[in-house]
Structure 1
Amino acid sequence: MNRYLLLLLIFSCLACESNKSASNNIYFTGEIVNPTDEYVVLFKGSAVIDSAKLDGNNRFSFNLDSTDDGLFHFNHAPEYQYVYLEKGDTLLVRLNTQDFDESLVFSGTNEEVNNFLLELFLANEEEERLIRSEYFNFEADDFQKEIDALADSKIEALNAIKLESGLSEKAYEIAKASIDYTYYGYKEIYPFEHKRKLRENTLHEVTDDFYAYRKHIDYNNESLIYLRPYYDFMKSHFGNLSYMTCSHSCGIKGNVVNNQLHFNKHKLHVIDSLVVEKELRDNLFRNVAFNYLLKEHDAPENNKVFLDEFEKVSQNNMHIEEIENLYNGIRNIQPQNKIPAIPVVSFDGVTTTLTEISKDKKVVFYFWSATNKNHYKNIFKRVDKLEQLKKDHTFVGINIKTEPNNWEGIIKNFNLDTSTQFRTDDFEGITNQLVIYPMNKCIITEDTLIVDAFSNIYERL
């Protein structure tokens, strides 16, 4: 009986291999129900590999003849998801945009690893709620046991798939890394989340065994750079390392980083000391720069010191233009500067500027896009409430990334005041000049002068 099962397993694996194309081409096709865009765009890392237009049956097709095996992602605006592809693959995906991730199913060669990665993604979303609501309350030993048990169950399932389907070493590596780095990431943030949940004054000490996995971290795995659990882990890991180092040698008081400039410069140097792979280094340096410049709202002179340090440590960073634009944008929207004269179009089709709109009155500019229905519905509710509380201010909506007809339809549907609604097609320009991040941001002006360019529509104005 055992011999029979073994022969059946070998036959099944050979059958899977025989489904591979004899050529090295990769065929990736699919069908999209209720499409939200005309195109599907395929990426490998940050590079666009190809784009495919949907046909009359909402189907698309890619035929790739000169690309390496590995992790890709496909984008059907505004959604995206991973896909693992190897030479000789013929892989089909089907999805419904009204339930994008939950409806997505792969079939064909390498369907096993792709469906497994998708199931991991969905399971992790469910588990995150449990971990944040319950597990972070646990003491370190109990937390570690629960987290390790979750990881072990998934690795057991992956090993069964490998045995049954004959996954390649690279496919197995990526799937296992997706498991490992997800749970490593929870361990990196545990001391901080535990302290916050229990409202304690100090961080708990953990044993060396708690971080035993750090001995196996691969800081330079080119195949994993754009695997979300790997990259998210790296961000948490370097934050933890920098904090712990600074807490012992840089005088962090009361577990609070008082000198954000020093802390973020320190983080740059920790990354520099451990990561060699250029693209991962660049992405991690970018993350530090964006977090510091956007979230800390430090003094302009400190921002300049940070940028100088960034350019010294991260030479020829592929994101340098974006970061310099961010720095310049922040510098230009400091209090008492005039709001930039960015052109926008009114509901009646008349072009004006933000400077003109804000003349001789107090204005709160807020931002919304049709790409996120829940966001704009909540924004409109919040603005309606604020208008009753702040009757001396005019609330002006600036729409981005929305087709004109769709924009007009939303305004009519929600019965908004058309005189205070404007739109722009220049998403990049307005984002760079006004630093629109996050989308809950609002900008308060008085007679064209900026009062606060980093306010939040959900906070007290």
Structure 2
Amino acid sequence: MARLLLSTFIVFLVSCSTAKKESEAVLFAGEIVNPTSTQVILMKGNEKIDSALIDSKNRFKFNLPSIENGLYHFNLSPEYQYVYLEKGDSLMVRLNTIYFDESLVFSGSNEETNNFLLELFLAAEEEDSAMYTDYYELEPNDFLEKIKSLKNEKIKRLKELKAETTMSENGFELLLGSIDYTYNRYKEIYPFQHKRKTAEENLHDLPKDFYSYRKNLDFDNQHLTYLRPYYDFMKAHFGNLSYMSCLHDCNNRNSESSKQLHFNKHKLHLIDSLVIDKDLRDNLFRNVAFDYLLKKKDAPENTEIFLNEFKTVSKNNMHIEEIENLYQGIANLQPSKIIPNLNVVSFENENITLTEVAKNKKVLFYFWSGSNKKQYQDIFKRIAELKEKRPDHELIGINIKTDFNDWKVILKTLGIDSTSQYHSNNFKELTEKLVLYPINKAIITDNAVIVDGFSNIYYN
């Protein structure tokens, strides 16, 4: 019966799509198997468009009077995925959250564009792995041939799909951009990964036309601003440009005391000089700031110089509050500071602060999310090892981004001692105050005083 109802729903949507040109109204609906949230949120860039509750039959529905044609994404916490929508669309999505991306299927108007976009996303995940294990070792010309083959295969299929369907020009350009920027990003990364993989002393000489695509780069394509391959390419591109320009033009490149500050200031000014689109500028500036603050533990005076430079070139950045909170969070996690007094919840649903949890003992705090089964299984295996290595520490797990009842079920299923586990209902506050980048981080305290605020459970 469930399958019959779903089939009827899909037929309804497909039939609605025939009236696509007669109305600007958009219907976006779907069925979620094993929902992880009570609602679906539709976003365009950083802007929330609407939200839809998931009903008792695990279905949701958006009725939008009119929209701007383009790329959106729908959030089903803690996951999200793209959806391409145009005026008049009637589109259905079905997925199982246990296999979120792999199970996702679109039906209705613009189904070809959306399914192919998802197919490119899944293919890129596999190819990213192959690049690092096999392809970056290749000599430049062999690498270019491999990239060309993979790219041409997808472009050929895209053109065939466009010829066989009613795909719009905007949809076609979005998919073509996804392909182009995916493979051009690999070229930006290649010289550095090739050097690392082959242990060559210097960067390998490249053919003169290796970066020939750069003359056609578009730094103001608002249709691609929030497309992951476009954004990831831009990050790699500016990293490459900054390194190369410093390597050839900067006299103080060998000064260890200022190297990280100098390099990241370089990156800020290159973005400022080339990128036009405001959202893309803000997002790239944010990436530079996070990379510098989190990965490059520079001297405090250099960090202050960087933040002033950031505010100068990135005026009215939409992420400025987040970056200032990150900076303050890092400052508050330095040795000899008291661990932030944040509230967490025990297995018995009692509130307690981290300061109270850490009082009068040595503690190693670690963090995990129920949304990633492999991640938390690996973490608990590692914690079992650390119990033998650190018998003088209590190992305290803090759960994030998981429903409270689901968290309790996971602990019971795995047989984890619940007295050493706590749950957080405020992911944003916890992330900012404890600087949870990456999720594998650990915080070590002695009587609630921080010993190491930026440890990692796999390097203890």
Give the TM-score, by structure 1 length: 0.92
**Does 270-279 or 86-95 show the bigger shift?**
86-95
Aligned 8 A contact 1:19 1:109 in 2: no
Q: Residues 86-165 of structure 1 correspond to what in structure 2 (within 5 A)?
A: 86-165=86-165
Give a deviation string over 1:291-328, Cα, whole Å, max 9, x none: 11111122222221111110011000000000000011
CA drift at 1:61: 1.4
In the other structure, the counterpart of 2:272 is 272
Deviates more, 1:352-361 or 1:383-392: 352-361
Q: Determine the C-alpha separation between the residues in 1 that align with 2:19 and 2:36.
A: 32
8 A Cα contact 2:253 2:259, kept in partner:
no
Map of 1:381 onto structure 2: 381
- Displacement of 1:185 in angstroms is 0.3
For residues 87 and 349 of structure 2, the distance between their equivalents in structure 1, rounded to whole angstroms, comes to 51
User: How many Å separate the matches in 1 of 2:427 and 2:86?
Assistant: 36
Deviation of residue 251 (structure 1)? 5.2
Shift of residue 65, structure 1, vs aligned partner: 1.6
Which secondary structure state, in structure 2, belongs to the residue aligned with residue 50 of structure 1?
strand
Say whether the 8 Å CA contact 2:246–2:253 is kept in structure 1: no
Structure 2 spans left out of the alignment, 5+ residues:
1-14
Letter in 1 for 2:218: D
- Asked if 1 retains the 8 angstrom alpha-carbon contact of 2:335 and 2:451, the reply is yes
> Match of 2:111, as an amino acid?
E
Q: Shift in Å at residue 93 of structure 1?
A: 1.6
Secondary structure of the corresponding residue to residue 211 of structure 2? helix
What is residue 3 of structure 1 aligned with on the other side?
Answer: none
Displacement of 1:257 in angstroms is 10
Give the distance between the partners of 2:174 and 2:455, measured in 1 at CA: 41
What's the offset of the Cα at 1:19?
A: 4.8
How far off its partner does 1:114 sit? 1.2
Give the 3-state SS of the residue equivalent to 1:202 in structure 2.
coil
* 1:179 aligned residue: 179
Letter in 1 for 2:395: F
Q: Is the 8 A contact 2:45 2:72 kept in 1?
A: yes
Question: Cα distance 1:58–1:169, how it changes in 2: closer, same or farther (>3 A)?
Answer: same
Q: Which amino acid aligns with 1:385?
A: E
**Correspondence for 1:419:** 419
Structure 1 window deviating more from structure 2 (450-459 vs 332-341): it is: 332-341
1:257/1:263 contact within 8 Å kept: no
Structure 2 match to 1:224: 224
Q: More deviation in 193-202 or 125-134?
A: 125-134
CA separation in 2, counterparts of 1:17 and 1:56? Answer: 26
Asked if the contact 2:339–2:354 (Cα under 8 Å) also holds between the matched residues in 1, the reply is: yes
Whole-Å separation in 1 of the counterparts to 2:83 and 2:115: 9
Measured at CA, do residues 142 and 251 of structure 1 come closer, stay the same or move farther in structure 2, by a change above 3 Å? Answer: farther
Taking the aligned partners of 2:250 and 2:360, their CA distance within structure 1 comes to 48
User: Is contact 2:17–2:89 with CA below 8 Å preserved after alignment?
Assistant: no
Percent identical: 58
The number of equivalent residue pairs is 446
Paired amino acid for 2:162: K
- CA separation in 2, counterparts of 1:18 and 1:446? 67
Aligned counterpart, 1:35: 35
Q: Is contact 1:300–1:331 with CA below 8 Å preserved after alignment?
A: no
Q: Which residue of 2 aligns with 1:60?
A: 60
Match of 1:443, SS?
strand
Give the whole-Å Cα distance in 2 for the aligned partners of 1:16 and 1:433.
48
3-state SS of paired residue (1:189): helix
Tell me the CA shift for residue 120 of structure 1: 1.2
Q: 1:371-414 CA distances to partner (integer Å, 9 max, x unpaired)?
A: 22221211111111111111121211122233332222323333
> Corresponding residue for 1:7?
none
What's 2:244 paired with? 244
Computed over aligned residues only, the root mean square deviation of the Cα atoms, in angstroms, reads 2.1
Tell me how far 1:150 sits from its aligned partner: 1.1
Q: Judge conservation of contact 2:78–2:401 (CA < 8 Å) in 1.
A: no
- Measure the CA separation in 2 of the matches of 1:232 and 1:100: 22
Measure, in 2, the Cα distance between the counterparts of 1:36 and 1:427: 16
1:402-440 C-alpha deviation (Å, 9 max, x unpaired) = 333222232333333333222222222222111111110
Deviates more, 1:432-441 or 1:25-34: 25-34
| Other-structure match for 2:49 | 49
Contact 2:258-2:302 at 8 Å conserved across structures: no
Per the alignment, residue 5 of structure 2 pairs with none
What SS is found at the alignment partner of 2:458? coil
